[in-house]
């Protein structure tokens, strides 16, 4: 199904705005992690600030949670039930909210919202084959659609200055309907997935914050993430979650372009 609604124009002045936090300089990354990058949050505003400022994306988050519960129960979704969740105040914006919801379900959870019966106005969620069973970013095969969630996680780490505290990661995941201690119908136990499985597979690093008391933990990109994706690809996912375009994150976009250039130099000139 392809809900109606226009995309945000590709202009630097648009997109979600969030109050910058932790603007001070941070410690350099560990060896192999690349440049330290700009200050945390970089004035771009992540999914959580965007949710608070944009009522349509906030309503989309409510629908996402509802649809995930329906998917877990194996139940169809009534159009009337979705309208009721949106409330009368935002009824005229329902097509746009449904578009945002559908995009997020497909992007992060690998689920496509399809119309099941036009007469009864019901929908079903269809799982798409997104990953092989080992959870890698490349290749085909069957398995949980972790790719979208992983790219979103890499995005929030990038947005936070190439390292994100555990608290920041869970705040981000809660917006997407993934909560610590609550089994997810797509990803299973979320804490195990992001602190064990994705760490073991080399996509994330999960380590103590130096000199923190009481002890706190942070996430960084793992070596396999550096090998299989790029900051520009991750920024595209982050922008889509926020219903905007990469250029609306100017500092992140500049850093991603810089990395693209460095990779091009490392590959050497093309042979004719």
pLDDT for 53: 60
* 191 and 108 share one domain: no
- Nearest 5°: the CA angle 21, 181, 72 is 110
In angstroms, the CA 254 to CA 272 distance is 29
Give yes or no: residues 75 and 108 share one domain.
Answer: yes
Per the domain annotation, does 97 fall within a domain?
A: yes
Q: In terms of domains, do 108 and 155 share one?
A: no
Q: Quick check: is 99 in a domain?
A: yes
Residue with tokens 């600030």: 49
116 and 220 part of one domain: no
Same domain? 191 vs 85 = no
Number of domains observed in the structure of the chain? 2
Closest CA to 113 of 150, 139, 82: 82
Domain closes at, from 127, 155, 171:
127
- 82 by Cβ neighbours in 10 Å (0-12 / 13-18 / 19+) ranks as buried
153, 94: one domain: no
Q: Please, which residues have CB within 8 angstroms of residue 216's CB and are 6 or more apart in sequence? A: 165, 166, 167, 208, 209
Chain-centroid distance, C-alpha 221: 14
pLDDT at 270: 63
**Rounded to an integer, what distance in angstroms lies between the CA atom of residue 113 and that of residue 100?**
11
Shared domain check, 249 and 168: yes
The verdict on residue 242 lying in a domain is yes
Could you tell me if 180 and 257 lie in one domain?
A: yes
Q: How many Cα neighbours within 13 Å face the side chain of 122?
A: 8
106 lies in the same domain as 155: no
Q: What is the residue range of 164's domain?
A: 146-267
Q: Is residue 252 part of a domain?
A: yes
**Final residue in a domain of this structure, among 127, 159, 189:** 127
Question: Which residues touch 260 (CB under 8 Å, ≥6 apart)?
Answer: 230, 232
Q: Is residue 10 part of a domain?
A: no
CATH code where residue 105 lies: 1.10.10.1200
Element (H, E) at 104: helix 94-109
Residue 83 maps to a domain: yes
CA–CA separation, 101 vs 3, rounded Å?
Answer: 9
pTM assigned to the model: 0.67
Low-confidence ranges of the chain (pLDDT < 50): 1-39, 43-51, 129-145
Say which CATH number the domain at 161 has.
1.10.10.1210
Instruction: Determine the Cα–Cα distance for residues 166 and 219; give it in Å rounded to an integer.
Output: 7
Are residues 220 and 168 part of one domain? yes
Please check whether residues 78 and 189 belong to one and the same domain.
Answer: no
Indicate if 150 and 256 belong to the same structural domain. yes
Residue 17 lies in a domain: no
């Amino acid at each position: 199904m392809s809900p109606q609604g226009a995309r945000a124009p590709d202009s630097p002045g648009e997109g979600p705005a969030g109050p910058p936090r932790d603007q001070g300089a941070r410690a350099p990354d560990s060896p192999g992690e690349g440049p330290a990058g700009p200050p945390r949050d970089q004035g771009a505003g992540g999914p959580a600030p965007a949710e608070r400022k944009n009522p349509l994306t906030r309503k989309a988050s409510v629908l996402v949670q509802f649809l995930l519960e329906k998917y877990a129960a194996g139940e169809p979704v009534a159009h009337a039930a979705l309208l009721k969740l949106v409330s009368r105040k935002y009824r005229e914006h329902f097509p746009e909210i449904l578009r945002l919801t559908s995009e997020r379900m497909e992007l992060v959870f690998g689920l496509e919202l399809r119309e099941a019966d036009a007469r009864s106005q019901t929908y079903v969620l269809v799982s798409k084959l997104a990953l092989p069973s080992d959870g890698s970013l490349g290749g085909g095969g069957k398995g949980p659609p972790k790719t979208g969630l992983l790219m979103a996680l890499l995005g929030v780490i990038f947005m936070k200055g190439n390292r994100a505290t555990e608290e920041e990661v869970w705040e981000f995941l809660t917006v997407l309907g993934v909560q610590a201690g609550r089994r997810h119908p797509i990803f299973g136990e979320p804490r195990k997935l992001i602190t064990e499985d994705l760490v073991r597979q080399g996509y994330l690093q999960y380590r103590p914050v130096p000199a923190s008391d009481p002890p706190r933990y942070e996430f960084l990109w793992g070596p396999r993430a550096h090998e299989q994706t790029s900051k520009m690809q991750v920024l595209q996912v982050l922008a889509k979650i926020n219903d905007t375009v990469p250029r609306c994150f100017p500092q992140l976009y500049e850093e991603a372009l810089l990395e693209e250039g460095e990779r091009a130099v490392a590959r050497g000139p093309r042979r004719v």
